Structure 1
Amino acid sequence: MNELTELLSELVRVPSVGGTAQEAGIQTMLADWMRDEGLEVDLWELPLAKLTALPAFPGMEVPRDRAYGLVGRLPGTGGGQSLMFNGHVDVVPPGNLSAWADDPFSGRVEGDRVYGRGACDMKGGLVAALLAVRELKRARPRGDVLVACVVGEEDGGVGTYGLLERGWRADACVIPEPTGLAVVPANAGALTFRLRVTGSSTHAARRTGGVSAVEKFLPVFAALRELEADRNRDVDPLMRAWDTPYALEIGTVHAGDWSSSVPGELVAEGRYGVALDETPQQAKAALEAAVAAACAADPWLAEHPVTVEWWGGQFVPARNPNPALTDALVAATGVTPEQWGAPYGSDLRLLAAAGIPTVQYGPGAIELAHAPDEYVPISEVSAASATLARLAATHCA
């Protein structure tokens, strides 16, 4: 347990925010750990220019000059099925530092918890996978066991996309994302969008002579809330664990350029949930229609319609295509875990699209991810690691 805690704290202390030098640097650290453990290591620089130009590239929301892929391989003795553990090393920014009780990257250990940005999402799960592979060195299953450490999961999936483009495959995959030790065989999708609202600027002292873009955004925002409600009334049984499995939220709003002027433009960016078995094209059409209807009902917006742009990470929904993997993972837990579909996008959709049956299972509560004072229970990391080792011993035998 001490070794688990030390490794997890060490990784949390690396501020591997997406797009930073530390996102690349942590891959080198992990490659060294793998080599010390006797794994075969493939560490390579991702060909970003080539990847981003491919038609199926899943999008990227932060600039990267350099990024690395990393796979550690425990070779099997021959004849068994292979299994991949896929974990992302990038974390989201800590946000408002005053909301944290401590340094966001402290890796502080308190009781059964390791605190810090990324502890839950998902360095705890990554450590569970690494220590599972270490445990498997004694048993040496017949099939290969892989640990893929990927970058850019939080903003599109460039790491896993690059992993697949390099040719890495497995017969099955587990992503140890924070699921609270529930088994998650499906993900909703998520699209990133941008709205541009046009107003007419003038001096604020004579505001009635202008048209506020902020005011004209309000009916559009109301229409989006109505759209969200409609899309969450009748959902797939896997998604009924959530009150709003296909959430639609405006994350940023920027308007105007001077405090005493009527704002002539507003730009809003948001995140839009895509339902299981829905195509991104269908989801986009629904949002664009809702925006168009709101514009048609307003004389100004009818003449100056809001534009919709689709940019950044584009997460399609996905299901594990092989129920046998889900059943095997459930059996490996040794209990009767909860099963549900995740309301967020993940790299599951890229792996499943490549023909690799994939399920999520890992330590930590998703509610703690991206939040101040993020933490992961050490006991859950240990339990997840034991489950992954048991699954690999059976699957790869």
Structure 2
Amino acid sequence: MISPLEARVLAAIDDAETINLLTELVRVPSVTAADAESDLQHRCARLLTEAGLDVDLWQLDLDTLRADPRFPGSEAPRTEGYGVVGVTPGEEEPAVVLQGHVDVVPTGDLDKWDERDPWSARITGSTLHGRGACDMKAGVAANIAVVHALRRAGIKLARPLAVHCVVSEEDGGLGAFATMLRGHRGEVAVITEPTSGRVITANAGALTFELGVPGRAAHGSTRFEGVSAFEVFLPVYEAIVRLEAERNRDPDPLFRDNPVPYPISVGTVRTGDWASSVPDLLVAEGRLGVKLDEDPAAARAALENRVAEVCAGHPWLRDNPVRVSWPGGQFASGRLPDGHALTEQIRGAVADITGAGAPPVSAAPYGSDLRLYLDVGGIPSLHYGPGDVRFAHAPREQVDLPEVLDVARALVLLVLRRCGVRR
């Protein structure tokens, strides 16, 4: 049940201001490691300062972060990055952290976007379109809307609230890792990734892999004198497909609605440099799903062993084995401890706002910053945020604006109930 004080703060959420903020955020082309990513971090720092928070804006020490044995990996070439943390006044550890990443994936084929403009933040009806609208600038906007509503309502929290804005989530989690190493903490964290109306208390991991498949070059007219790297890759790929099926048998019950919680996908294949030559090298890149609670080293070994088995039984690969390497992002899985109070607290807040009952609890098949807040920071964390993840990374990415506003309101209730109000 919503109290009169809670109703007063909820009334202080300015719907038009929140939508305008989201529009501004989406119009910044903050692709991972692009200059605009840093520009947006400075903009977020100003927004949090305007809301009355004490803001820590710092430049990441990339060399030190990369040298740490716990470094989560990265894929995009990067020369700079910034961290942003805002905290409401108070001496105690923040009772709640609201976290979101400002970086987005590249736009892909512009012809797939209306008017060839993925940064338009165009609104049709109740839907806002644009790269990052769903993943996850809607969540960032909801987080910032919370602190502006608190300020507008004249609320002084009994215990602090923190808002974290991070970079580089899309390629490994460098920004979250840096924030944890900076010493920023909290009792609990809500990461406002798009959750399709669910509360996500766990997610699988994802490890980027690369396969180097050797062949032997020859003229295309005498191809039988060579060994096509493309052809010898086929049994390797078929073995990977079988491995995926094996690894997805009897998944954790949290994945009951997901048919393939631990996907293995090959995202890029490059081979050959001349149409009439037999290719002597194929390079395939992909992602390996990590099971809940599985050591990433065990997941790597599963793929490496399967590839080695194929090579051992193949007449060419036996003496010319496939090279397996692990560049880029290395996302371990993460899980909020079973029965943690945060789960029911956010579900109760959502139910009070929507009137539709408590949202279901499940797990997500993708990696995120969750495991860094849990494992490096020791902060019990979950995902709850606006957007349908099926639109993330897709052409014509979009988010439902009433959902953004409902999430902001649910977060207001969570913050008031966990942080308390100074009388």
| Range into which the TM-score falls when normalised by the shorter chain | over 0.9
Aligned residues of 2:307 and 2:322 also touching (Cα < 8 A): yes
Of 307, 317, 323 in structure 1, the residue corresponding to residue 340 of structure 2 is 323
Q: In the TM superposition, what are the counterparts of 1:72-151 in structure 2 within 5 Å? A: 72-76=86-90, 82-102=95-115, 103-137=117-151, 138-151=154-167
> Which residue number in structure 2 is paired with residue 387 of structure 1?
410
Q: How many equivalent residue pairs?
A: 396
Q: How far apart in 1 are the matches of 2:27 and 2:216?
A: 48
> Which residue number in structure 2 is paired with residue 24 of structure 1?
38
Q: In the TM superposition, what are the counterparts of 1:146-185 in structure 2 within 5 Å? A: 146-185=162-201
Q: How far apart in 2 are the matches of 1:173 and 1:81?
A: 10
Aligned residues of 1:80 and 1:142 also touching (Cα < 8 A): no
- What is the RMSD computed on CA atoms of the aligned residues? 1.2
- Judge which range, 300-309 or 366-375, deviates more: 300-309
Q: How far apart in 1 are the matches of 2:222 and 2:93?
A: 76
Of 258, 272, 278 in structure 2, the residue corresponding to residue 242 of structure 1 is 258
Change (3 A) 1:80 1:135: farther
Aligned residues of 1:81 and 1:142 also touching (Cα < 8 A): no
**In the alignment, structure 1 residue 378 sits paired with structure 2 residue 386:** no
Q: How far apart in 2 are the matches of 1:127 and 1:332?
A: 18
Alpha-carbon shift at residue 139 of structure 1 (Å): 2.8
Q: How far apart in 2 are the matches of 1:79 and 1:265?
A: 58
The runs of 5 or more residues in structure 2 that have no matched partner are 1-14, 352-356
The runs of 5 or more residues in structure 1 that have no matched partner are none
Of 361, 366, 379 in structure 2, the residue corresponding to residue 344 of structure 1 is 366
**In the alignment, structure 1 residue 222 sits paired with structure 2 residue 238:** yes
SS where residue 207 of structure 2 aligns?
strand
What is the TM-score with the length of structure 2 in the denominator? 0.92
What is the TM-score with the length of structure 1 in the denominator? 0.98
Aligned residues of 2:94 and 2:162 also touching (Cα < 8 A): no
- Judge which range, 138-147 or 47-56, deviates more: 138-147
Alpha-carbon shift at residue 181 of structure 1 (Å): 2.5
Alpha-carbon shift at residue 136 of structure 1 (Å): 2.6
Q: How far apart in 2 are the matches of 1:280 and 1:235?
A: 17
Alignment-mate amino acid for residue 208 of structure 2: T
Aligned residues of 1:318 and 1:348 also touching (Cα < 8 A): yes
SS where residue 302 of structure 1 aligns?
coil
**In the alignment, structure 1 residue 307 sits paired with structure 2 residue 284:** no
Aligned residues of 1:181 and 1:384 also touching (Cα < 8 A): no
Aligned residues of 2:92 and 2:160 also touching (Cα < 8 A): no
Cα distance per residue 1:285-327 (max 9 Å; x no partner): 1111111111122111111111110111110011013611111
Q: How far apart in 2 are the matches of 1:288 and 1:270?
A: 13
Of 278, 281, 284 in structure 1, the residue corresponding to residue 297 of structure 2 is 281
Alignment-mate amino acid for residue 199 of structure 1: G
Alignment-mate amino acid for residue 375 of structure 1: Q
Aligned residues of 1:277 and 1:318 also touching (Cα < 8 A): yes
Alignment-mate amino acid for residue 257 of structure 1: D
Q: How far apart in 1 are the matches of 2:25 and 2:17?
A: 12
Q: How far apart in 1 are the matches of 2:373 and 2:92?
A: 23
**In the alignment, structure 1 residue 332 sits paired with structure 2 residue 354:** no
**In the alignment, structure 1 residue 55 sits paired with structure 2 residue 69:** yes
Alpha-carbon shift at residue 147 of structure 1 (Å): 0.8
Aligned residues of 1:80 and 1:141 also touching (Cα < 8 A): no
Q: How far apart in 2 are the matches of 1:79 and 1:316?
A: 30
Query: Identity across aligned pairs (percent)?
Result: 49
Alignment-mate amino acid for residue 44 of structure 1: W
Q: How far apart in 1 are the matches of 2:267 and 2:405?
A: 35
Aligned residues of 2:139 and 2:192 also touching (Cα < 8 A): yes
Alignment-mate amino acid for residue 382 of structure 2: V
Cα distance per residue 1:109-161 (max 9 Å; x no partner): 11111110000000001111111122233332211111110000000101011
**In the alignment, structure 1 residue 38 sits paired with structure 2 residue 52:** yes
Alpha-carbon shift at residue 328 of structure 1 (Å): 1.1
Q: How far apart in 2 are the matches of 1:340 and 1:132?
A: 25
Of 260, 269, 272 in structure 1, the residue corresponding to residue 288 of structure 2 is 272
Aligned residues of 1:80 and 1:396 also touching (Cα < 8 A): no
Alignment-mate amino acid for residue 374 of structure 2: A
Alpha-carbon shift at residue 79 of structure 1 (Å): 6.4
Alpha-carbon shift at residue 31 of structure 1 (Å): 1.3
